[in-house]
Amino acid sequence: MIRANRLVAAVLTVVGPTAGCADVLGYDDLVFDDEAYEQAQSDEHDAFAGSGGRASAAGSGGAGGRASAASFGGSGGSTGGVGGTGGTSGGSGGDGGSTGGSAGAVVTAGTAGATPTPTGGAAGVSGAPSEAGTGASPGIAGETGTAGAAGALCVPSVPGPVCVNDDLYEDDGCSVRTLVTNCICGCSRNACNPETTPATYCLSDDVYSRDSCGEETLSADCGTSGYEGAAYCSAGHVYRDYVERGCNDSTDACYEEQTSERQQTCDCGCDAAACSPCCDATDYWDPAVDTDTDSQGEESDGTPVDTGIRIEVRQDGSGLETRVCRTTGTFSSTSIYLSLRDAATDGSVGVSGLFSETQGVQCSGWMALGNSTGYSEDDQFGGIWYVVSPGSSASGWSEGCSADTAATGSCWSGISVTLTRTCLP
């Protein structure tokens, strides 16, 4: 509506038919002024740019000269601009004619500046009054335009600091944010999150840590408890090692403890990580007694001896003992010599010595074999032996009845005494 009125004011000129007869205007009395139209467009463009509108030109003189059109105060600038200034002045009065020109119209007050965003526009400037018309009757001066109102200022949408990307910012309400606080542990509800004291503690048998921001992390995996390694025999039973792992609440550190746990209780001992079957043997050795016979001995000069000699070996508890017998008749010597050793399992087991008081008897007394109690189940004793009679001639003979040049007496030998250790403990 403002734009249309300004255009009409600028482009219409009254043409009176005669001087003093300009009381009534008809359609035919109006003419279109191109130059005035272009000037009005320029003035209207300035007003929309935020400045006050120009005053229109003074009315032309003539008979009954007309008053100039009133200029309008500029409207407020566009969003974010400065409020428009008031109109400059009213138009000058018409030149003198036969009748004085009418008074200039009152200048309309400048329109208040629109509320700007983000900064308020300046208040509109008041329009200056129009000058009085000249001529026979001076025109009446126009009134002063009213100043435009100032635009509103930026107002923060949220009072105080706001949390953005884990830091605090001030927001001025006009899309401008300023960093206020760099929050170590982030922020929430427009305040920095509080810091806590770092700590280390046990949780689910592992070691965890908490930093100053309350972030919890696994510090040490203490592992899992369980059996390790193969089973084994100990004290006649089956055992296996158990390792317990976890977190010690008193030290907040991992620990590891190993214990030997019995897996099987064995009634008859253990072997190869398994209980042994109970022994049903009634003897320590199988057979309980064994013999070996040399039916023909030899003299030191190689002459055969028709008398036979038998070696007997039998169990003596868990050990062994031996004796020497004639196959027929009795010994004529007062002593005989025996050498017997184990050639199968343990060479330290055996005997080497004299049997006394053998004269007139078929068998000597029993003599224990040294170191014979250390055999394990299924160990075998395999004896090699030789006998010299009389016992005083023993130094001239060796194993297998090998005689030296100074040998005297007779010798018998053998290699076939065999006994096996049974399960009997």
Residue 199 lies in a domain: no
Residues 3 and 133 in one domain: yes
Residues 90 and 124 in one domain: yes
Q: What is the pLDDT of residue 307?
A: 93
Residues 416 and 379 in one domain: yes
Residues 165 and 116 in one domain: no
Q: Is the pLDDT of residue 234 over 80?
A: yes
Residue 197 lies in a domain: no
Lowest mean pLDDT among 14-18, 206-210, 243-247, 380-384: 14-18
Q: Which DSSP state fits 134? A: P
Which of the four pLDDT bands, split at 50, 70 and 90, describes residue 142? low
Residues 126 and 6 in one domain: yes
Which of the four pLDDT bands, split at 50, 70 and 90, describes residue 312? very high
The total number of structural domains that make up the chain: 4
pLDDT mean across residues, the chain: 74
| b/e 61-81 (16+ beta carbons within 10 angstroms → b) | bbebbbbbbbbbbbbbbeeeb
Residue 8 lies in a domain: yes
Q: What is the pLDDT of residue 99?
A: 38
- Higher pLDDT, residue 113 or 204: 204
Peptide bond into 17 cis (omega under 30): no
Where among 99, 121, 152 does a domain terminate?
Answer: 152
| Domain of residue 404, CATH code | 2.60.40
Give dist(CA 19, CA 98) in Å, integer.
7
Which of 34-43, 79-88, 98-107 has the highest mean predicted lDDT (pLDDT)?
Answer: 34-43
- pTM for the predicted model, two decimal places: 0.42
Residues 73 and 170 in one domain: no
Residues 31 and 131 in one domain: yes
| For residues 129-143, average pLDDT | 50
Q: What is the DSSP string of 47-84?
A: HHTTSPPPPPPPPPPSTTPPPPPPPBPPPPPSTTSPPP
Helix (H, G, I), strand (E, B) or coil at 324: strand
Residues 262-311 have pLDDT tens digits of: 999 999 889 999 998 888 889 999 999 999 999 999 999 999 999 999 99
Which of the four pLDDT bands, split at 50, 70 and 90, describes residue 389? very high
Q: What is the pLDDT of residue 314?
A: 97
Q: Structure tokens of 372?
A: 């014979």
Residue 415 lies in a domain: yes
- Higher pLDDT, residue 361 or 177: 361
The domain of 112 spans 1-152
Q: What is the pLDDT of residue 354?
A: 96
* Nearest residue to 61 via CA among 32, 36, 96, 28: 96
- Residues 335/354, Cβ–Cβ less than 8 Å: yes
What angle is formed at CA 234 by the lines to CA 232 and CA 240, rounded to 5 degrees? 40
